Amino acid sequence: MYLAKLVVPCLTLLASFASKANDMPLNLTKGVTDISDRVYDLHMTIFYICCIIGFLVFGVMFYSIVRHRKSRGVKPANFHESTKIELLWTAIPFVILIGMAIPATNTLIAMENSDDADLTVLVTGSQWKWHYRYLEHDLEYYSVLATPRRQIENKLAKGQNYLLEVDRPLVIPTNTKVRFLMTSDDVIHSWWVPEFAVKKDANPGFINEAWTNVPTAGIYRGQCAELCGKDHGFMPVVVIAKEPEEFQSWLASQQAEQQAKQAEEQRLLALQMPKDELMDLGKRTYDQFCAACHQPNGQGLPGMFPALKGSDMVMTDAAAHIDIVLYGKAGTAMAGFGKQLSLKELAAVVTYERNAWGNDTGELIQAADIEARRKAAM
């Protein structure tokens, strides 16, 4: 029987992978927030309705396939219309749809009400990392993929949170309405945390908003959901929800750290780093932040990302070189690293680029040179 031929292999295969993929949920996450829970319920409702309709329609169809076949010697009937039935099966789906639309509308209205938030975070997407700025507090930082490149290149065993880990996660308090404002520095990104049922596009030049209220402390992982270029698959979102008191102390410690770092940097301005130290730190920094586009050998990807090896600007114009590393280049994928890296790292990476791969300019760039470009109107 054709039916058996069709069903048996499908079922076997389904069963085999259902047992195999035991660590991947096969359904939408219920999430942790009130909204994500409502979204899940809505998803299941619609899914069950579809299943029932499918069961009825396919049931009739397969019954017909089994019973009304020529090989059983049946004579075909000749009816070909019935206004009554046709009206009926136009009207019934319509009613079912209204039944679906009501809960959907209610959930949507609840999702779109972002008023009375206690904390606002400006989320900025850029190729290929997220930047978080706490608008009510003096704190901002980048959040970059933490998975080592060697794991991606299959040279190291992959960790448990492969591609879903970042160096500095976003931290938010629990039981607090947190509002996210989304924007972008370059192309469109989309900030998505499935467990909050929050997915919102970050559009360059525009802001969007979303909100959540997380009841339980924990680590929540998501990813960029809108194709944003080469490393779209490598810009995860990690959010840590902490109890409000813990959040406050975290906030204080971060702000203190940020200030201490700035003070330390100012103190270090006078420091002259020797060449091999600069080159060493520079290589590490370069491999982590620059090599994805400009390639480890400095040759870039022709037509996409310019080569640094033998580049005119790198070989001659140090000021322009520092500026582009600090502030990025408008209209290209080149982001500014002025806020992301320390003065020391910036100095090291510029030095590295000016001396590696046969770019032997012999020039050393020190933290003070970077600070000079940053501060002064020369």
Partner 1 sequence: MTSMTEQNDIAAQQHDETNEHHHYAPKGIMRWLLTTNHKDIGTLYLIFAFTMFLVGGAMAMVIRAELFQPGLQLVDPNFFNQMTTVHGLIMVFGAVMPAFTGLANWMIPMMIGAPDMALPRMNNWSFWILPFAFAILLGSLFMEGGGPAFGWTFYAPLSTTYSSDSTALFVFSVHIMGISSIMGAINVIVTIVNLRAPDMSWMKLPLFVWTWLITAFLLIAVMPVLAGVVTMVLTDKYFGTSFFDAAGGGDPVMFQHIFWFFGHPEVYIMILPSFGIVSAIIPAFARKPLFGYASMVYATASIAGLSFIVWAHHMFTTGMPLFGELFFMYCTMLIAVPTGVKVFNWVATMWRGAMTFEVPMLFALAFVVLFTIGGFSGLMLAITPVDFQYHDTYFVVAHFHYVLVTGAIFSIYAAAYYWLPKWTGHMFNEFWAKMHFWCSLVSVNVLFFPMHFLGLAGMPRRIPDYALQFADVNQIVSIGGFAFGLSQLLFVVVVVKAARGGEKAAAKPWEGAEGLEWTVPSPAPYHTFETPPAVK
Partner 2 sequence: MNTPTDRQTQHQQANKKLVGRLVLIVAAMFGFGFAMVPLYDVFCDITGLNGKTNSEAVSTVAVDADLSRQVRVQFVTHNAKGVAWPFQSSLPSIKVHPGVMTQVEFVVENPTNRPVIAQAIPSVSPGLGAQYLRKLECFCFNQQPLAPGERKVMPMQFYIAPDMPNDIGTLTLAYTLYDISNRGDQPANAQTAAP
User: In this chain, which of 15, 48, 55, 97 binds partner 1, going by CB under 8 A?
Assistant: 97
Quickly tell me which residue has 């076997």 as its tokens.
12
Binds 111: which of partner 2, partner 1, none (CB < 5-8 Å by kind): partner 1
Q: Site map for partner 1, 318-337, x if CB under 8 A?
A: -------------xxx----
Q: Site map for partner 2, 239-278, x if CB under 8 A?
A: ----------------------------------------
Quickly tell me which residue has 């069963």 as its tokens.
15
CB of 162 to partner 2, least distance (A): 29
* Residue 186 lies near partner 2 (rule: CB under 8 A): yes
* Residue 96 lies near partner 2 (rule: CB under 8 A): no
When the beta carbons of 54 and 244 are compared against partner 1, the nearer one is: 54
Query: Which tokens sit at 313?
Result: 């600007």
Binds 29: which of partner 2, partner 1, none (CB < 5-8 Å by kind): partner 1
Residue 289's contacts (CB-CB under 8 Å, 6 or more residues apart) are 144, 337, 340, 341, 349
Rounded alpha-carbon distances, angstroms, from residue 70 to 6, 64, 77 = 20, 11, 12
User: Under rule CB under 8 A, which residues in 200-219 are in contact with partner 2?
Assistant: 204-209
User: Under rule CB under 8 A, which residues in 307-346 are in contact with partner 2?
Assistant: 323-324, 326-332, 334-336, 338
How far does Cα 55 stand from its chain's mean position?
37
The whole-angstrom separation of Cα 109 and Cα 72 is: 56
User: In this chain, which of 34, 122, 137, 151 binds partner 1, going by CB under 8 A?
Assistant: 151
Rounded alpha-carbon distances, angstroms, from residue 301 to 127, 128, 217, 294, 321 = 16, 17, 43, 7, 19
* Residue 183 lies near partner 2 (rule: CB under 8 A): yes
User: In this chain, which of 45, 107, 114, 258 binds partner 2, going by CB under 8 A?
Assistant: 114
Binds 28: which of partner 2, partner 1, none (CB < 5-8 Å by kind): partner 1
When the beta carbons of 58 and 244 are compared against partner 1, the nearer one is: 58
CB of 77 to partner 2, least distance (A): 39
CB atoms within 10 A of CB 211: 23
Q: Angle CA(94)–CA(98)–CA(101) in degrees, nearest 5?
A: 135
Binds 76: which of partner 2, partner 1, none (CB < 5-8 Å by kind): partner 1
Count of residues that bind partner 2 according to CB under 8 A: 40
Residue 180's closest CA among 206, 204, 200?
A: 200
Binds 377: which of partner 1, partner 2, none (CB < 5-8 Å by kind): partner 2
The whole-angstrom separation of Cα 375 and Cα 378 is: 9
User: In this chain, which of 168, 177, 232, 284 binds partner 1, going by CB under 8 A?
Assistant: 232
User: Residue 210: beta bridge partners?
Assistant: 180
Query: Which tokens sit at 163?
Result: 């591609």
Which sign, positive or negative, has the C-alpha torsion 144, 148, 154, 157?
negative
Helix (H) or strand (E) holding 369: helix 367-375
